[in-house]
């Protein structure tokens, strides 16, 4: 059983840390951050939520299969590596281009960002699968 302070801080921090995690993910291929640290941040706040409220309480309204997240992330990361070979480039070659979005201006789209999303999902899926399996009473 946890204290009211822990539960309140967890409620406040949950959306902030998730947004920061996504910010780290999106900035990763050009700036410090990336899929790994963004995934660790996301997994840590979900783990704190599990600790603060208990696994059974969280499962009553939020019970994803984290192994599916792991599998999807692994597929995305591997596909990023092998798709470049289909276009006669080296293994893991990154492609990029620029797209003009009316209110944002020029935005860079890079295949490295898809790899970062894959790593993000692998880290979240792996850490939270371990956490829920170890924390499960069964």
Domain boundaries, the chain: 4-135
Read off the pLDDT band of 135 (50, 70, 90): confident
pLDDT tens profile 48-61: 998 898 888 888 87
The set of long-range contacts for 65-72, using a CB threshold of 8 Å and a minimum separation of 24, is 66/124, 66/125, 66/126, 66/128, 66/129, 66/132, 67/125, 67/129, 68/125, 69/121, 69/122, 69/124, 69/125, 69/128, 70/121, 70/122, 70/124, 70/125, 70/126, 70/129, 71/125, 72/118, 72/121, 72/125
| Amino acid 138: pLDDT | 61
Query: What pTM did the predictor assign?
Result: 0.85
| Amino acid 11: pLDDT | 92
| Amino acid 1: pLDDT | 61
pLDDT tens profile 84-95: 888 787 887 777
Calculate mean pLDDT across residues 67-72. 93
% pLDDT > 90, the chain: 43
């Amino acid at each position: 059983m946890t204290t009211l302070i822990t539960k309140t801080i967890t409620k406040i921090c949950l959306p902030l840390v998730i947004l920061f995690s996504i910010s780290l993910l999106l900035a990763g291929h050009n700036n410090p951050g990336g899929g790994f640290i963004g995934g660790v941040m996301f997994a840590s706040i979900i783990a704190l939520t599990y600790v603060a409220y208990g696994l059974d309480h969280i499962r009553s309204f939020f019970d994803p299969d984290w192994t599916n997240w792991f599998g999807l992330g692994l597929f995305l990361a591997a596909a990023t590596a092998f798709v470049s070979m289909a276009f006669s480039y080296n293994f893991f070659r990154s492609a990029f281009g620029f797209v003009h979005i009316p209110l944002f201006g020029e935005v860079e789209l890079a295949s490295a960002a898809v790899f970062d999303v894959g790593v993000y999902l692998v880290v979240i899926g792996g850490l939270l699968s371990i956490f829920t399996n170890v924390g499960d009473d069964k």
